[in-house]
């Protein structure tokens, strides 16, 4: 007769790594000797003082709690509107908008390729009508809005739609407050959508920075995004170096070509990732602030302490959310949010524990808010600024990350800046190398992922509920309803006004005028996003359709 038996291993679960997630070798203990040369005033400073290693505000979270900013995007503008209101009531303080995947790619719902993605990962905000519904009953003055749309057209049109909506409501756009990714180099690597090729993307990026700074002084018109790049496979030093290098590229160009002074700009905002490697994540945010303070001074000529500071908004790592034993994702998100708070960031957008099965359910979103309330109010974590400052390990790791990122920044400088690094393929190689290395370590068991390549096990009732609760993409018939909506809009709007506005947009492109104002006016006349992208492209000498599958509408033939 068989008896169940189990082989006991007292060392089961022993550590397999002696390196951080980014493969930085770690000793088993650190002490004073590891901080040789570290000078408190020069390298750390008090919170609120350059180089801001310890945080950007003197009293940190006592005075300025981080923004709890969730991406809110469901299939229809009505659902998204209801969700915003529900989450605001539950403590959401940063409103992040994201469109569906086809709109993000720069086309309208009736594009032939869109049939697969309409209403997936967000709602199709193809025209101002959709923003009117999505943000109905939500005052735009004084609230923090963030665009999570990070393709070149996605970044551009989120801003255009928000300004148009505010003006349409009779609001004061100087009160528009929030952030816009507007980072075409990262978008080319991560998204690869072709709507604005590099020369055009570069121009639109600078137009947005210039218009944003001059007209919406509380808006950050360009917040380089390390998050997407990190999620696509970078290390911490690469993520730090590339967001900073992109900032130097865009802001450097804006200063040179648009007669702006860096000291007129709002303090920099970086969008970054919070990973499961706890201490590396904390050290990364500290090191990023210190490195940026130096770069802003040395490379962009910042003269005020205010402009050497950078705010950091994070999303927790989406690629760390696994479908195997999904209850474990609560532990991962908790670890990552805690690291972000200890690292002194200004905005946190946690992943849904169920987002590997679909968009997060409402309950999962509420959990993400509650998790932050627990860290704040039960954990008392934010009571004091930079609580890990002075830790031998954290200070050593902060310096080490800064050193590694500095080496990359110097290399990028030698190569002629980030646009050049993108064009030459250098940037792509950086990704490929790291992704291959990480995948190899996972396959060989040198990197353990609980439930996936280690500690595997069956799902129970809780896991099944998490899987089943994720938001479902609507049935195809309902999704295709957006095609009727955009066609109906085109039939009912004042077509003469649209044609006139799009002609002005095309002229602005050709005459090297800033394209923002004409795009805002066209939006207020209910031109669609696909039409505006196509107009900008045609006036730039490109085909109407970025994907070369449809022809320009007739009325655009003599316009663009």
Partner 1 sequence: MVESEAAVRVLIGKVGFDPHDRGILVLSQGLRNAGMEVIFVGKFLTAEEVVAAAIQESVDVIALSDHCGVMRLIAKDILAELERHGATDICVVAGGIIPEEDKPALESMGVTGNYGMGTPMEEIVSHIVERVNRRAKA
Residues that bind partner 1 (CB under 8 A): 101-102, 104-105, 107, 112-117, 120-121, 151, 190-194, 231-233, 319, 321-324, 356-358, 432, 435-436, 439, 443, 449, 451-453, 467-468, 470, 472-473, 476, 547, 549
Closer residue to partner 1 in complex, CB, 112/425: 112
Residue with tokens 């090729």: 197
Residue 49: count of CB within 10 angstroms of its CB: 18
H or E segment at 518? helix 516-524
**Which residue's CB is nearer to partner 1, number 38 or number 452?**
452
Nearer to partner 1, 112 or 301 (CB): 112
Residue with tokens 């190398």: 433
Give the nearer residue to partner 1 in terms of CB position, either 313 or 469. Answer: 469
Closest contact distance (angstroms) between CB of 269 and partner 1 is 23
CB of 449 to partner 1, least distance (A): 6
Looking at the Cβ atoms of 297 and 315, the one nearer to partner 1 is: 315
Task: Supply the minimum distance, in Å, between the C-beta of residue 116 and partner 1.
Answer: 3
Instruction: In angstroms, give the least distance from the CB of 351 to partner 1.
Output: 12
Taking alpha carbons only, the member of 149, 167, 168 closest to residue 158 is: 149
Least CB distance from residue 100 to partner 1, whole Å?
Answer: 9
Contact 352, 359 (CB under 8 A): yes
Q: 123 or 151: whose CB is closer to partner 1?
A: 151
Distance CA 157, CA 149 (A): 9
DSSP three-state, residue 99 = strand
Q: Shortest distance, CB of residue 134 to partner 1, whole angstroms?
A: 19
CB nearer partner 1, residue 377 or residue 464: 464
* Count of helix runs (H) and strand runs (E) in the chain: 20, 8
CA distance 204 to 208: 6
DSSP letter for each residue of 118-185: TTSSSB---SHHHHHHHTTT---TTSEEEE---SHHHHHHHHHHHHHHHHHTT--GGG-EEEE---HH
Shortest CB 343 distance to partner 1, Å = 25
Quote the least distance from Cβ 208 to partner 1, whole Å.
Answer: 21
Residue closer to partner 1, measured from CB, 21 or 101: 101
Alpha-carbon distance of 449 to 91, in angstroms, equals 32
Which tokens in the block code for residue 548? 């070369």
Would you state the structure tokens that stand for residue 208, as one six-digit string? 């947005």
As given in the structure block, the two tokens for residue 40 are 């408190």
Residue whose CB is less far from partner 1, 117 or 504: 117
Torsion angle in degrees (nearest 10) through CA of 97, 234, 118, 536: 80
Query: Could you give phi then psi for residue 514, rounded to 5 degrees?
Result: -65, 130
Residue nearer to partner 1 on the CB measure, 75 or 291: 75
> Cα separations (Å) of 280 from 66, 328, 387?
20, 21, 15
Instruction: Please identify, using beta-carbon distances, which residue of 253 and 437 lies nearer to partner 1.
Output: 437
Q: Bridge partners of 368?
A: none
- Work out how close the CB of 307 gets to partner 1 at its nearest, in angstroms, rounded to a whole number: 33
Tokens in use for 528?
A: 């669609």
Whichever of 230 and 290 has its CB closer to partner 1, that residue is: 230
Query: What is the residue whose two structure tokens read 């990122």?
Result: 405
| φ, ψ of residue 512 in degrees (nearest 5) | 60, 30
Name the minimum Å distance from CB 188 to partner 1. 11
Q: At what angle do helices 529-539 and 495-510 cross, to 10 degrees?
A: 40
Please state whether beta strands 144-147 and 94-97 pair in parallel, antiparallel, or not at all (unpaired): parallel
Closest-CA residue to 150 (of 118, 181, 125, 105)? 181
Q: How far is the CB of 473 from partner 1 (least distance, A)?
A: 4
For Cα atoms 385, 395, 305, give the angle at the middle one, nearest 5 degrees: 55
Pick 390 or 445: Cβ nearer partner 1 = 445
CB of 101: closest distance to partner 1 in angstroms? 5
Q: Residue 405 and residue 181: Cα distance in Å, rounded? A: 21
Yes or no: say if 298 and 59 are a contact pair by the CB < 8 Å rule.
Answer: no
Q: State the DSSP H helix or E strand holding residue 470, giving kind and residue range, or none if neither.
A: none
Nearer to partner 1 among residue 366 and residue 449 (C-beta)? 449
8 Å CB contact between 273 and 240: no
The nearest distance, CB 464 to partner 1, in angstroms, is 9
Cα–Cα distance between 263 and 266 in angstroms, integer? 8
Query: Minimal distance in Å, beta carbon 336 to partner 1?
Result: 16
């Amino acid at each position: 007769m068989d008896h169940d038996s189990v082989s006991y291993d007292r060392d089961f679960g022993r550590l397999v790594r002696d390196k951080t997630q980014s493969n930085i070798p770690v000793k088993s203990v650190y002490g004073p000797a590891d901080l040789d040369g570290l000078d408190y005033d020069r390298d750390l400073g008090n919170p609120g003082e350059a180089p801001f290693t310890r945080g950007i505000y003197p009293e940190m979270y006592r005075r300025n709690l981080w923004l709890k900013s969730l991406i809110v995007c469901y299939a229809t503008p009505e659902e998204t509107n209801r969700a915003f209101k529900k989450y605001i009531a539950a403590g959401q303080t940063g409103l992040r908008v994201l469109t569906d995947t086809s709109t993000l790619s720069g086309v309208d719902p009736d594009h032939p390729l869109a049939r697969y993605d309409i209403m997936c990962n967000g709602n199709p905000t193809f025209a101002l009508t959709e923003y009117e519904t999505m943000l109905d009953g939500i005052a735009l003055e004084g609230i923090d809005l963030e665009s999570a749309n990070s393709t070149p057209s996605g970044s551009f049109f989120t801003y255009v739609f928000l300004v148009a909506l505010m003006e349409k409501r009779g609001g004061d756009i100087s009160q528009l407050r929030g952030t816009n990714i507007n980072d075409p180099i990262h978008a080319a690597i991560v998204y690869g959508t072709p709507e604005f090729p590099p020369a055009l993307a570069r121009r639109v990026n600078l137009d947005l920075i210039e218009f944003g700074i001059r007209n919406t002084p509380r808006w950050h018109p360009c917040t380089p995004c390390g998050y997407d790049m990190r999620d696509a496979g970078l290390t911490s030093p690469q993520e730090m170096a590339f967001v900073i290098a992109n900032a130097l590229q865009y802001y450097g160009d804006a200063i040179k070509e648009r007669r702006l002074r860096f000291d007129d700009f709002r303090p920099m905002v970086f969008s970054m990732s919070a990973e499961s490697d706890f201490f590396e994540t904390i050290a990364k945010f500290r090191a990023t602030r210190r490195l940026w303070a130096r770069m802003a001074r040395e490379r962009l000529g910042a003269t005020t302490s205010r402009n050497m500071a950078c705010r950091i908004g994070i999303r927790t790592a989406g690629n760390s959310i696994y479908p195997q034993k999904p209850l474990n994702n609560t532990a991962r998100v908790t670890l990552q949010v805690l690291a972000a708070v200890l690292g002194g960031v200004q905005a946190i957008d946690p992943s849904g524990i169920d987002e590997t099965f679909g968009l997060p359910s409402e309950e999962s979103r509420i959990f993400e808010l509650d998790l932050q309330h627990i860290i704040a109010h039960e954990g008392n974590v934010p009571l004091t600024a930079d609580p890990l400052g002075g830790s031998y390990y954290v200070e050593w790791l902060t310096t080490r990350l800064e050193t590694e990122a500095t080496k990359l920044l110097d290399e990028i400088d030698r190569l002629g800046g980030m646009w050049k690094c993108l064009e030459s393929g250098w940037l792509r190689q950086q990704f490929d190398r790291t992704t291959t290395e990480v995948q190899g370590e996972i396959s060989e068991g040198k990197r353990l992922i609980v439930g996936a390549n280690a500690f595997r096990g069956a799902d129970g009732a809780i896991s099944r509920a998490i899987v089943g609760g994720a938001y479902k993409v609507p049935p195809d018939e309902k999704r295709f309803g957006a095609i009727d909506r955009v066609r109906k809009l085109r039939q009912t709007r004042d077509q003469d006004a649209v044609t006139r506005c799009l002609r002005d947009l095309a002229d602005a492109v050709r005459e090297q005028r800033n394209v923002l104002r004409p795009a805002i006016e066209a939006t207020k006349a209910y031109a669609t996003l696909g039409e505006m992208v196509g107009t900008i492209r045609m006036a730039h000498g490109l085909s109407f359709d970025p994907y070369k599958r449809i022809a320009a509408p007739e009325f655009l033939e003599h316009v663009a």
